[in-house]
Amino acid sequence: MTWIKRKFSRKLGIALFLAVGTTLALADFFILKNIKTYLIGELKDNLVSQAKQISAVLDPGTFTKRDPRWQELIRKMDQSSGTRVTIVRKDGVVLYDSEVDWKALETLENHADRPEVTDALRFGEGSSIRYSHTLRSDLQYAAIPYPLMQDAEGTIRLAIPLNRLNNEMKGFANILFAATFTALLIGIGLIWIILRWSAHPLEEMTRAAESIANGRMDLKVRERSEDEIGQLAKAFNAMTRKLSSTFDQLKNDKNEIEAVLSSMVEHVIAVDASGKVIFINPAAEKLFGIRGDNVRGRPFMEAVRQAAVSEILKSVMGDDTERFEEIRLILPEERFFEARAVPMQGVRSERRYLLVLHDVTRIRKLEQVRREFVSNVSHELKTPLTSIQGYAETLLAGALADSKHNRDFVDTIFKEADRLNRLVNDLLDLASIESGRKKPQITEFELAAVVNEVHGMARSRTEKTGVRIENRVPPAFLIQADKDQMKQLLLNLIDNAVKFNLPNGSVAVESSESPEAVTFSIKDTGIGIPEKDLPRIFERFYRIDKSHSREIEGTGLGLAIVKHIVEAHGGSIRAESVPGSGSNFTITLPKNHSSI
Ligand SMILES: Nc1ncnc2c1ncn2[C@@H]1O[C@H](COP(=O)(O)OP(=O)(O)OP(=O)(O)O)[C@@H](O)[C@H]1O
Ligand SMILES: [Mg+2]
């Protein structure tokens, strides 16, 4: 039965077939019934008129005494017309019957209670149909009184078997049924053609709707008529156009949003009401080391095991109120984020939550560096100031008169003041290079000459320790840089190389060049720098093993200044060292200064 259910046209076809078939069958039935009633009526009228003809030839004597003449007359009539004639006396005694022998007439039963007989006597005409066992057929009876209703002497009754009529009716019914059946067949054929023809556009639309459901929006159905189906096709095409443009619009909007989210440096994650990941942008994927495809649809707290992030999401999901707080994550290095978690309205009013993490690590680290810097500066300033104050107090308290020590005290005050001065100068230099106020004044000069100049400045220290300085830079080696800043850079590096050297050690300054850059290095045979400290020596105030360095004066600003000078020139500096056997600082400066 599924083949019926699957097609509307089939259902409609079967319904029409049943309706038309039933109507035709009923019509046939009523036609046959009416025709039969009509024919029987005709037959009866015919019998009545025949009876009237008989009545015309009879005379009143017929009913007083049985006369074989009459019997013979009606027998002949029967033979010629096939109609049985019976003449019944008023009291019901059968006087003559065309189909009964003369002698047997006496034995016939009384006919007074035959309905046609009683009706004829009462109403002037009577008829009825009864089954005759003798003839095995229905018989049509008709009777009239003789001579008149009031003074009737008897009745003339005629009877004719209905089997001929029935046979004719049967033949007629067969023709009628055959015609009906043919008409029905032709009707079904026509209905089938019409249904196929009208169902075709519907099938076309069904296929188009299926294609649309599969994402194909470019399909159109033919608008072939002006009727309801044609209007449906028009409406369908209009709907497809609208759907397609809305779809395109949505796709565009989605692409734009995705492009924005993808290019954002902020880390964006969206979860649904049950905490499952709906969206994660590339920045967040990278931050948590996960892939969107793998975590989409999974609980976020399972995919990203970060207590602080889970905490803030849980709290926003708890009361649907926006949260904004700073969180610290170990990834595995320590990083700080401003986290904003907001509830959103999804489609069909489903709750969704958006988490945006903004990386503030650099700001926090800078703040920390600034705090440390202030405390370092204060500390470095405090030491010489305390000792100046101490010695000045001692002098004031009477030591001025102590000719043996007063000079030493003043000497110390001078040294400490000098140290303070250098410290403040270093800080000022650092500040101005760092702020970019002091732009390098690029000129071309011989590097070897500057190395010699610095060598001269460091002479007092080299003589004390016996450290040799070898200037291996060729005299004609030219560099383009800010000469004063290069002098300071070399002074700081050579000062370190001598200061952290061993007695009678050596320092070598070398140079090389490539088409793009010049490189020079300061190499010593000193105490070296432990590997763990190497990355940090360029930080301000950073000194290795402060207790040990205490003997060797310094504030830890020298290399910070060097680094800033190199960076201001667009170059780079690299430190290598083998603890116990020496260090090597290599500076590379670009030749093309347009990049600065
Ligand atoms: N050539 C080197 N050999 C061994 N250690 C070095 C060398 N250069 C620098 N260092 C280490 O790096 C630290 C930082 O050097 P930097 O020049 O910045 O500071 P400083 O020399 O101590 O003080 P300042 O230069 O301000 O007088 C030093 O304290 C020292 O421990
Ligand atoms: Mg130094």
Q: Per residue in 40-80, pLDDT tens?
A: 899 899 999 988 888 888 887 777 788 888 888 888 888 88
Residue 595's pLDDT is what?
47
pLDDT of 107 > 80? The answer is yes
Rounded average pLDDT over 119-130: 90
Q: How far is the CA of 496 from the centre of ligand 1 (A)?
A: 5
Rounded to an integer, what distance in angstroms lies between the CA atom of residue 509 and that of residue 469? 8
- Closest ligand to 376 CA? 1
Distance CA 137, CA 140 (A): 10
> Are the beta carbons of 447 and 473 closer than 8 angstroms?
yes
For 261-271, write each residue's pLDDT tens digit.
Answer: 888 899 999 99
Nearby residues of 274 by Cβ (< 8 Å), 6 or more positions away: 299
Q: Ligand 2 center to residue 204 CA distance, Å?
A: 88
Which residue out of 421, 495, 559 has the highest number of ligand 1 atoms within 8 Å of its CB and is therefore the one to mutate? 559
Q: Whose CA is nearest to atom 19 of ligand 1?
A: 556
Q: How does residue 223 score in pLDDT terms, banded at 50, 70 and 90?
A: confident
Report the share of the chain in percent with pLDDT over 70. 96
Percent pLDDT > 90 in the chain is: 42
Q: Where are the alpha helices (DSSP H) in 436-586?
A: 447-457, 459-465, 483-499, 546-549, 558-568
For residues 54 and 142, the answer to whether their CB atoms sit within 8 Å is no
Instruction: Report which protein residue has its CA nearest ligand 1's atom 27.
Output: 554
Ligand 1 neighbour 524 (Cβ under 6 A): yes
* 255-259, 341-345, 422-426, 434-438: least confidently modelled range: 434-438
Angle between helices 163-213 and 228-263 (to 10 degrees): 20
Q: How would you classify residue 528: left for phi > 0, otherwise alpha for psi between -120 and 50, otherwise beta?
A: left
Q: Are 509 and 587 in contact (CB under 8 A)?
A: no
Query: In 3-state terms, what secondary structure has residue 341?
Result: strand
Mean pLDDT of the chain: 88
Q: Which of 544, 539, 527, 529 is nearest to 576 (CA)?
A: 529
Q: State pLDDT tens for residues 160-185.
A: 988 888 888 899 999 988 998 898 88
The whole model's pTM is what? 0.50
Rounded Cα distance, 325 and 206, in Å: 55
